[in-house]
A and B are shown apart, each in its own frame.
Chain A
């Protein structure tokens, strides 16, 4: 999937708005500021995926984009283990950080992901004037590359590349680190560029 620079800009702006809302919702939950990087949009060949996604053990909450777009692709919130534990601690008022991921962490990771991604899709759908909803979340605590490859396998039946939108969220108190990835499929991408073009028309 080759993107021209306008499409790239459009997608990154689109994702930027979504990620900003997701960051805000996370910030409200934690009652502390969250920083966000300038998002990157890349077309990645499936054989190069390992250059973009590391193989560290992470918690990944995965959603399919649904609503007025059918099977629009996937959104993933990815967090390192330590971040998940810190987030659970923050919300439950516990302090122990040197422990294994337990049932409560899993539940918390899913819930946090759910709230963030709902905010993401709400904001972007409103911008486009359509309805986008996250599917029920699926959680994997595993090698990041393995999880991403499994998601990508769903999307690349007859194509050999995927679009990856990626932004990093960080906070100091508690020290946390996480990423949001959006992997729109070809149809959603087309729909996005069409709608964004229409949005731009009054200014043309």
Chain B
């Protein structure tokens, strides 16, 4: 699974190593402000929904670890309004802390866009491609 072209958005991956099961949420905004039709869009709702879905598939919260990627500030000398990235990162991390989930790998902030691919088999394989052409595999 994967998501292309993350700018200020965040890819949140929860991984259950014991079951080789993982889920990915593409988060656009920090707060849902009560809107419930697309929980995956907002940091505050996406975290709980993703946990719920994983639990439905048999995972327990204690076996989950999180990977957080994205939240770049792409625009130079731009109005603050465009820098949602920072707020997204803070919101996702806050929610993960509240849920007591461990962040196993994090690559957030910076200036460049990223594409993220993840394979849950075994210990899980993560590939992050950055817009400046560099690529990491974990």
Given contacts A46-B41, A140-B74, A157-B33, contact A146 B7 (CB under 8 A): yes
**Which residue of the partner chain, among A50, A53, A138, A144, contacts B78 with CB atoms under 8 Å?**
A138
User: Is the CB of A23 closer than 8 A to any CB of chain B?
Assistant: no
User: Is the CB of A8 closer than 8 A to any CB of chain B?
Assistant: no
B39, chain A: closest CB distance, angstroms: 12
Could you tell me which residues of chain B, from 99 to 121, have a CB within 8 Å of some CB in chain A?
111-115
Flag if B79 contacts A153 (CB, 8 Å).
no
Q: Find chain B residues with CB under 8 A from A150 CB.
A: 7-9, 72, 74-75, 82, 84-85
User: Is the CB of A136 closer than 8 A to any CB of chain B?
Assistant: yes
User: Is the CB of A87 closer than 8 A to any CB of chain B?
Assistant: no
Q: How far, in whole Å, are A50 and B2 apart by their CA atoms in the complex? A: 12
Q: How far, in whole Å, are A144 and B74 apart by their CA atoms in the complex? A: 11
User: Is the CB of A19 closer than 8 A to any CB of chain B?
Assistant: no
Q: Find chain A residues with CB under 8 A from B81 CB.
A: 64, 154
Most buried by A among B28, B29, B75, B114: B75
User: Is the CB of B56 closer than 8 A to any CB of chain A?
Assistant: no
Q: Find chain A residues with CB under 8 A from B85 CB.
A: 150
User: Is the CB of B13 closer than 8 A to any CB of chain A?
Assistant: no
User: Is the CB of B76 closer than 8 A to any CB of chain A?
Assistant: yes
Determine chain B's interface SS by DSSP, over half rule. loop
Interface residues on B, range: 20 to 34
User: Is the CB of B90 closer than 8 A to any CB of chain A?
Assistant: no
Most buried by A among B9, B78, B85, B111: B78
Flag if B74 contacts A64 (CB, 8 Å).
no
B89, chain A: closest CB distance, angstroms: 13
Number of A-B contacts (CB under 8 A): 99
Q: Find chain A residues with CB under 8 A from B76 CB.
A: 106, 138-140
A12, chain B: closest CB distance, angstroms: 26
User: Is the CB of A186 closer than 8 A to any CB of chain B?
Assistant: no
Q: Find chain B residues with CB under 8 A from A156 CB.
A: 28-29, 41
User: Is the CB of B58 closer than 8 A to any CB of chain A?
Assistant: no
A152, chain B: closest CB distance, angstroms: 8
Q: How far, in whole Å, are A201 and B37 apart by their CA atoms in the complex? A: 39
Q: Find chain B residues with CB under 8 A from A153 CB.
A: 8-9, 28-29, 84
Flag if A142 contacts B74 (CB, 8 Å).
yes
* In the complex, residue of chain B having the shortest beta-carbon distance to the beta carbon of A58: B131
User: Is the CB of A160 closer than 8 A to any CB of chain B?
Assistant: yes
Q: Find chain B residues with CB under 8 A from A135 CB.
A: 79
User: Is the CB of B5 closer than 8 A to any CB of chain A?
Assistant: yes
A-B contact pairs, 22 of them (CB 8 A): A57-B131, A106-B76, A138-B78, A139-B75, A140-B75, A142-B113, A143-B4, A143-B7, A145-B7, A146-B9, A147-B74, A148-B5, A149-B7, A149-B9, A150-B9, A150-B74, A150-B84, A152-B28, A153-B9, A156-B28, A156-B41, A158-B33
Tell me the A residues contacting B by CB distance below 8 Å.
46, 50, 53, 55, 57, 62, 64, 106, 135-136, 138-140, 142-154, 156-158, 160
Q: Which 8 A-B residue pairings sit nearest by Cβ, starting from the closest?
A: A145-B5, A146-B113, A138-B78, A146-B7, A150-B7, A138-B75, A143-B113, A146-B5
Tell me the B residues contacting A by CB distance below 8 Å.
4-9, 28-29, 33, 35, 37-38, 41, 72, 74-79, 81-82, 84-85, 111-115, 131
